Amino acid sequence: MSQVSTAYDNFLTRVDAVLTGAAGWIKLPFAYDIEKNPEIYLRQGYALGIGAGVNTKRVLSSTLSISREFTLTIVRALDATDLEVTLRQSLEKQLFEDIKLVIADVERNSTLNVGQILCSYSGDSGIEYVDGETSEYVQLRANFLVEYFETI
């Protein structure tokens, strides 16, 4: 198995542990197209996608160092009308509270595989709106850099 598979599995295990500690979170089946997910999942869901990777040009004894972006998307139902500004703002801020739990976990323990895979938070998308068929949702995409060595 490649190190990217190990990194993905280990990162997702940590996200599962952090987010599912709070009730109601559902893993979304479509990480790359959030709007394709069933609306019931979008009420409070999350997904992990694997993004672009780059060769860091650090070769160590027939291994290659790769830095790859993982994107964690979290989404919540926007159960507020256009006129309920305070409630809308509270729901938006809750996404940042949710993602902070994952960021804190990563920054406290930046390895995903006994020191062989490093992970760090690199930024996020800010609040984005997702239109469902019957409801509206807010999402936040957080980016994490994952660095690992792959045997060549």
In DSSP notation, 86-136 reads HHHHHHHHHHHHHHHHHHHHHHHS-BSSTTSEEEEEEEEEEEEEEE-SS-E
Residue 147 — very low, low, confident or very high, per pLDDT cuts 50/70/90? very high
Retrieve residue 13's tokens: 């295990």
Q: Under the phi-then-psi rule, with left for phi > 0, alpha for psi from -120 to 50, and beta for the rest, what region is 24?
A: left
pLDDT at 113: 66
Select from 39, 22, 21 the least CA-distant residue to 30: 39
Q: What distance in Å separates the CA atoms of residue 89 and residue 97, rounded to the nearest whole number? A: 13
List C-alpha distances in Å: 150 to 25, 62, 127: 33, 9, 35
Q: What distance in Å separates the CA atoms of residue 38 and residue 44, rounded to the nearest whole number? A: 11
Tens of pLDDT along 37-81? Answer: 999 999 999 999 999 999 998 877 778 899 999 999 999 998 877
Mean pLDDT of 29-37: 95
Percent of the chain with pLDDT over 70: 97
Higher pLDDT, 71 or 82: 71
Strand order of the β-sheet with 117-131 is 26-27, 44-59, 63-77, 136-151, 117-131
- Residue 73 CA from chain centroid, whole number: 4
Q: Which of 58-62, 81-85, 92-96 has the highest mean pLDDT?
A: 92-96
Residue 115 — very low, low, confident or very high, per pLDDT cuts 50/70/90? low
Burial of 69 (0-12, 13-18, 19+ CB in 10 A): middle
pLDDT at 9: 92
